[in-house]
Amino acid sequence: MSDVEVVPTAPAVGQSGTVKRAGVVGRLLKNPMGVIAIVILVVIVASAVFAEFLAPMDPTRATNTVLAGPGGANILGTDSNGRDILSRLFFGAQGTLVSAALAAGVAIGIGLPAGLLAGYYGSWFDSLSSWATNILMALPNMIVLLAVRAVVGPSIPITMMIFGIMVSPGFFRLVRTATQSVRNELYVDAARVAGLSDFRIMARHIFGVVRAPVIIQAAMVCGIAISFQSALEFLGLGDPSASTWGVMINDGFRSIYRQPLALLWPTLAISFTIGGFVLLGNALRDALEDQVKVKEKVAAATTSAVITEVVKTPTTHLLEVADLRIQYPQPGGGRKTVVDGVSWYVDRDEVLGIVGESGSGKSQSAFAVLGLLPDNALVTSGQIIFDGHQTVDTRSQRINQSILSELRGKRISYIPQEPMSNLDPSFTIGSQLVRPMVKTLKISDSEAEKRAMDLLAAVGIKDPRRTFQSYPHQVSGGMAQRVLIAGAISCEPDLIIADEPTTALDVTVQAEVLDVIRELQRELHQGIILVTHNFGVVADICDRVAVMQNGRIVEQGDVRSILRTPQDPYTQMLLESMLVGKTPMTKLITQESMGGLQ
């Protein structure tokens, strides 16, 4: 049996183009910031590792040529003890990088396991470790480090380890939050059902998720650790005999009037290193976030597509969509076609159902009518004519928002799929109903409020006053959808676009909401476009149906003829997949229905 689910090879017509993705390393190297950071850090690490071979002189050997300028035997000059600055810079890189690594290592060593355990198990360990981190975060870092120095003496490794402990709460919180969010993912549950031990679940399933943020944070912590270490040494709290950058700054600062350049070199080294770490952190974050939105400049857009001129074809339909094509530019060039030349119309007093599976372009074509396509969408051909207004701007290949903003909300309204996410949680339902009416219908607040009450009653809400005063989280999903329907009809539109209006609802609530839409439509004589994947909903409410597949309409017509005698093999296959009226425990997809699709 061949499987239709197999990701389709690009068909000659219909949707085309694929989404391209590059790996993290690839994206990092494409980012100039990332390349600069990597180059800087590679140079510094190399100079630390190969200091023995690179340094022209012994960094600790004092000579009589003190505070020499650049040039001559000492390329960058000498310090106040006559030591070669360039050689000290190479060896200083060692100390600096080791300090940074120590601090980051200790911070990760404490923060990562503690965060994993606290996030995964919660309970007492979570409470205890959260307390501990809160206390650590309340302590001022610099003062603690000064105190440590007073107790243990000028040991940079110990100071940096203490610093690592001080910054470990950053890792702890990061890892804990990430773990908590993955903890409830279904694949972690599946691993538990499979019998994996907690240790293996953490190692295999959770560590992969926290790895990236920890690496980014580590880059930042390295930069901060270097600046703290240098600051301590600059204050004269380091080991004055060691060749580190901080000690060099201290030395250079003391002779700044005699040889200002001696201060410049270590300062530059520190700045570049910290800058390198910060840039690397940022570039890693950008690379991992993977949200590149390609927007084609209209001027740059190839005009190979034939642009249809603005023709005001006389149409008697309330809304007519003709030969609509919607494309998206792709990261690697080229375009993805999501709607490929669809034509349909809707009249007053009529419900048109647009049916299709996910990715068929049914919502995209409805959003084009509303002018709510994403910024980078291009309407490369076709017309959308609402009551004589052409809303496609063929020159810019976009929906003409100035024409549409006159229509949207007033003559065309929208019922969304997710009722809850379409109500603002910080305003009462009443204020969300009243504002548009006051703006659009130019009526007073009190009039609008009275109207809102009537509307809430009209959509079957029993206690309109209470709902009016409620916040969205205080009502159920079905109630919220009724509120949105009330909002959609509040400005007496001619056309309502309902995008899967009942998909998020339980069947019993769905039945009631469909009743509300049907009754109101009969009363107010609107045209309705109902986008859905459910043939039961279509049968319940639609007069005509358009079936979409891969961005094209495969069949459209009267609801009875489409549902009872579908002509297109795809429609036949969809109806074949319905469970109603099938003998239980029998195969739904037969060879014949598959054959029709090949």
Partner 1 sequence: MTESNQHPLSPEKLAAELADQAVSAQEVAPSGEPDAVSPAVAPEVPSAAVQSVDHGVQVPLASGGLSAPITTTPRLASKADVLDDIAGHAPAVIELPPGKHLLDVADLRVAYPQKGMFAKPVEILHGVSIAVEEGRTMGLVGESGCGKTTLGRAVLGLAPITGGTVTFDGKDIAHAGRGERRKLSRDIQVVFQDPYTSLNPSMTIGDILSEPLGIQGISGADARKRVRDLVDRVKLPSDSMDRLPREFSGGQRQRVAIARALALQPRLIVCDEPVSALDLSTQARVLDLFLEIQQTLGVSYLFVSHDLDVIRHVSHRVAVMFKGEIVEQGLAEKVTEHPEHPYTQRLLLASPVPDPDKQAQRRTERRAHTAAMAAAAAAAAA
Nearest to partner 1 of 4, 46 (CB atom): 4
Contacts of 97 (CB under 8 A, 6+ apart): 44, 45, 48, 273
> Interaction with partner 1 in 352-411: which residues (CB under 8 A)?
357-358
The answer to whether residue 292 forms part of the interface with partner 1 (CB under 8 A) is: no
- Least Å from the CB of residue 479 to partner 1: 8
DSSP string, 8-20: PPPPSSSSB----
The answer to whether residue 116 forms part of the interface with partner 1 (CB under 8 A) is: no
> Interaction with partner 1 in 117-136: which residues (CB under 8 A)?
none
DSSP 307: P
Nearest to partner 1 of 139, 580 (CB atom): 580
Binding mask 485-524 for partner 1 (x = CB under 8 A): ---------------------xxxxxxx-xxx--x-----
DSSP 77: -
The amino acid that residue 236 corresponds to is G
- Least Å from the CB of residue 178 to partner 1: 14
Nearest to partner 1 of 304, 591 (CB atom): 591
The answer to whether residue 560 forms part of the interface with partner 1 (CB under 8 A) is: yes
Binding mask 170-189 for partner 1 (x = CB under 8 A): ---------------xxx-x
Nearest to partner 1 of 250, 550 (CB atom): 550
Q: Which residue has the tokens 């049914």?
A: 362
- Least Å from the CB of residue 564 to partner 1: 7
Q: How far apart are CA 337 and CA 550, in angstroms?
A: 9
What is residue 145's three-state secondary structure? Answer: helix
Helix, strand, coil % (nearest 5) of the chain? Answer: 55, 15, 35
> Shortest CA distance to 460 belongs to which of 476, 474, 475, 479?
479
> Interaction with partner 1 in 446-475: which residues (CB under 8 A)?
458-462
The answer to whether residue 208 forms part of the interface with partner 1 (CB under 8 A) is: yes
Nearest to partner 1 of 261, 524 (CB atom): 524
Nearest to partner 1 of 395, 465 (CB atom): 465
Q: How many residues bind partner 1 (CB under 8 A)?
A: 70
Q: Are 96 and 273 in contact (CB under 8 A)?
A: yes
**Residue 413 CA to its chain's centroid (Å):** 28
Q: How far apart are CA 465 and CA 121, in angstroms?
A: 45
> Interaction with partner 1 in 566-585: which residues (CB under 8 A)?
573-582, 584-585
The answer to whether residue 535 forms part of the interface with partner 1 (CB under 8 A) is: yes
Q: Which residue has the tokens 């439509």?
A: 521
Can you list the pairs that 3-7 forms with residues at least 24 positions away whose Cβ atoms lie under 8 Å? 4/594, 4/597
Phi-psi region of 215 (alpha: psi -120 to 50; beta: other; left: phi over 0): alpha
- According to DSSP, the residues that pair with 562 across neighbouring strands are none
- Least Å from the CB of residue 287 to partner 1: 16
Contacting range for partner 1; rule: CB under 8 A; set: 100-108, 160-168, 197-205, 277-285? 197-205
Find the binder of partner 1 among 35, 275, 539, 568 (CB under 8 A).
539
> Shortest CA distance to 371 belongs to which of 343, 401, 396?
401
Find the binder of partner 1 among 137, 533, 557, 568 (CB under 8 A).
533
The answer to whether residue 557 forms part of the interface with partner 1 (CB under 8 A) is: no
Q: How far apart are CA 250 and CA 81, in angstroms?
A: 13
The H or E element containing residue 5 is: none
- Interface residues toward partner 1, by CB under 8 A: 1, 3-7, 185-187, 189-197, 204-205, 208, 357-358, 458-462, 478-479, 482, 506-512, 514-516, 519, 533-540, 559-560, 563-564, 573-582, 584-589
